[in-house]
């Protein structure tokens, strides 16, 4: 009977060793998965930093472009007002010249 219990103990010990190896294999596999996840997380974190930096640069460029557009619109408005004033002056000058007799106009152009 002692031999039977000894063989059972050897069998149980063998199962424990297999179980222990299986557990170690699972633990190693989990560590590898954790390391892979950390690597992916680091890569994504780097990409996120680059995207946020690019977003900041784009926001700054947008702000600068909006200021330039505003300045150009103001300049356009000023040019349009000047053109309108020049057109009014031209019209007034033509009316004034129309009132001047023909013989005086010839002397004005000489």
CA distance 75 to 61: 21
Per-residue pLDDT 10s for the chain (110 aa) are 444 454 454 455 667 777 788 889 999 999 999 999 999 999 999 999 999 999 999 999 999 999 999 999 999 999 999 999 999 999 999 989 888 777 665 565 55
Give the CA distances from residue 97 to residues 16, 90, 91, 92, 102, in Å, rounded to whole numbers and listed in that order.
Answer: 118, 10, 10, 9, 9
pTM of the model: 0.54
> What pLDDT is recorded for position 10?
47
Q: What angle do CA 81, 87, 89 make, to 5 degrees?
A: 105
Kindly state the tokens that stand for 47. Answer: 């990409």
């Amino acid at each position: 009977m002692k031999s039977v219990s000894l063989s059972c103990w050897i069998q149980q010990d063998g199962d424990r060793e297999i179980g222990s190896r299986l557990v170690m294999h699972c633990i190693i596999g989990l560590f590898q998965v954790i390391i892979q996840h950390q690597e992916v997380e680091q890569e994504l974190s780097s990409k996120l930093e680059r995207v946020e930096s690019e977003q900041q640069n784009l926001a700054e460029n947008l702000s600068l472009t909006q200021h330039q557009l505003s300045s150009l619109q103001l300049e356009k408005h000023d040019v349009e007002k000047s053109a309108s004033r020049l057109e009014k002056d031209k019209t007034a000058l033509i009316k004034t010249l129309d009132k001047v007799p023909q013989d005086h106009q010839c002397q004005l152009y000489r």
